[in-house]
Amino acid sequence: MEKKYSIFSLVKNAFTNNENWQKMWDSPEPKKSYDVIIIGGGGHGLGTAYYLAKEHGIKNIAVIEKGWLGGGNTGRNTTIIRSNYLWNESANLYDHSIKLWENLSEELNFNMMFSQRGVMNLAHNEHDIKEMKRRVSANRLNGLDTQWIDIKQIKDLVPIMNTENLRYPVLGAAFQPRGGVARHDAIAWGFALRSNEMGVDIIQNCEVKNIKTDNHKVEGVETSKGFIRANKVAVVASGHTSVLAQTAGVRLPLQSRPLQALVSEPVRAIVELYPIFGKMKMLRQWGGIVDICPDASPIISKCDVKGLYFNCGWGTGGFKATPGSANVFAHTVAKDEPHRINAPFNLERFSDGKLIDEHGAAAVAH
């Protein structure tokens, strides 16, 4: 039965101390075989399962997660959503994602807390201005809503910002009004809830140890709960992806790096821009492993092993792309060919030289 959330269910459960909510998803033991196994229970993996079931009619799916859902990089990010990337391929992918974000709460009947309050990148010197205006122009050519704004416009949008007498002066900004933030773990929960209702098995606390192949074709996966057969295996395991790929004889051009973040200790640069934050203490800290490609763009691709697919190499840019990435990856897995949006993000680009160089992906100067 589909689980609906409404103001009435919230009020009803408030009176029972929130103890009578139904479980959001089942936690079954794995079956002996599946049509598709997805390794990784973060937003990208669960989203892939959702779109495979919803748009491609594939229901015999298992999402296998070695920990708990959303406990990896999905739950460790800055929650920022934007599409103001420099290159056409990236802009298309990330804007596809924003369009899905805009209706996702309604589609999943689960609040993503998506707030399109805009994303602003400040310019502090002449080089910043040139690079950001270049990016704004590229974005405009791709039909994106990015714009260059001056100090007065910045101050109107963010009255609490100090723009005077700074060590690093504010000279203007690139601004994308449709950008914003969302609740990072909500997207994992929402995708898990709806994919489970369509018959997807969500298997937590189950580690995939290796991918078994025969004659360059996928046979299944060895896990801490035994061998599970599958026609197709889709790997969405972030920093662990290259390790799993090697078990199938595939070498990926990835570097895995530890990433640590602190949100938000008052340091000089922050307080100088926002004096109101002077008394703020640390809110949270986290660390995790990110996988990075040589051109700082992701891989969303099949490979030489039949039935094996990879969604990886996101570095620090994966959260904002979650629904868009999952949507086109599901198409790739179901059709055994890329969607037009993720076609440029193939493995072959590292041998044919058609790289998508997004080392400015954080929307700062190169």
Each domain of the chain, given as residue ranges in start order, spans 22-113+181-352, 119-177
Q: How far apart are CA 202 and CA 284, in angstroms?
A: 29
Strands 284-292 and 80-81: unpaired
Q: Give the Å distances, CA to CA, from 342 to 171, 205, 240.
A: 36, 31, 22
Enter the pTM of the model.
0.91
Is the pLDDT confidence value at 366 over 50?
A: no
Instruction: Note whether 182 and 78 are within 8 A (CB).
Output: no
Q: What is the mean pLDDT of residues 339-345?
A: 98
Structure confidence by residue, pLDDT tens digits, 75-102: 777 789 999 999 999 999 999 999 999 9
**Per CATH, the architecture of 119-177 is what?**
2-Layer Sandwich (3.30)
Q: Do domains 22-113+181-352 and 119-177 have the same CATH topology?
A: no
Structure confidence by residue, pLDDT tens digits, 126-158: 999 999 999 999 999 999 999 999 999 999 999
* Predicted pLDDT at 118: 97
Is the pLDDT confidence value at 363 over 50?
A: no
Instruction: Note whether 56 and 334 are within 8 A (CB).
Output: yes
* Predicted pLDDT at 283: 66
Is the pLDDT confidence value at 351 over 50?
A: yes
Two tokens, residue 348: 């072959």
Helix (H, G, I), strand (E, B) or coil at 333: helix
What average pLDDT does the structure give for the chain?
91
* Predicted pLDDT at 169: 93
Strands (E), 2-110: 33-39, 61-64, 80-81
Confidence grade of residue 360 (pLDDT, cut at 50, 70, 90): low
Is the pLDDT confidence value at 345 over 50?
A: yes
Q: How far apart are CA 155 and CA 148, in angstroms?
A: 14
Q: What is the mean pLDDT of residues 314-333?
A: 95
Most confident of 17-21, 115-119, 184-188: 115-119
Is the pLDDT confidence value at 364 over 50?
A: no
Cβ neighbours of residue 160 closer than 8 Å, sequence gap 6 or more = 274, 275, 276
* Predicted pLDDT at 129: 96
* Predicted pLDDT at 2: 55
Structure confidence by residue, pLDDT tens digits, 203-245: 999 999 999 999 999 999 999 999 999 999 999 999 899 999 9
Strands (E), 134-194: 147-149, 172-176, 180-181
Instruction: Note whether 30 and 64 are within 8 A (CB).
Output: yes
Strands 33-39 and 61-64: parallel
Q: How far apart are CA 99 and CA 260, in angstroms?
A: 29
Higher pLDDT, 341 or 74: 341
Q: Give the Å distances, CA to CA, from 15 to 3, 4, 18, 28, 52.
A: 19, 18, 7, 31, 38
Strands 218-223 and 208-213: antiparallel
Helix (H, G, I), strand (E, B) or coil at 337: coil
Only one residue has tokens 């080089």, namely 127
Q: How far apart are CA 200 and CA 357, in angstroms?
A: 36
CATH of domain 22-113+181-352: 3.50.50.60
DSSP structure class, residue 75: G
Q: What is the mean pLDDT of residues 285-295?
A: 86
> pLDDT > 70: what percent of the chain?
94
Instruction: Note whether 328 and 96 are within 8 A (CB).
Output: yes
Instruction: Note whether 98 and 323 are within 8 A (CB).
Output: no
Q: What is the mean pLDDT of residues 32-40?
A: 98
Of the ranges 34-43, 65-74, 228-237, 279-288, which one carries the lowest mean pLDDT score? 279-288
Instruction: Note whether 294 and 355 are within 8 A (CB).
Output: yes
Two tokens, residue 182: 């969302």
Instruction: Note whether 193 and 110 are within 8 A (CB).
Output: yes
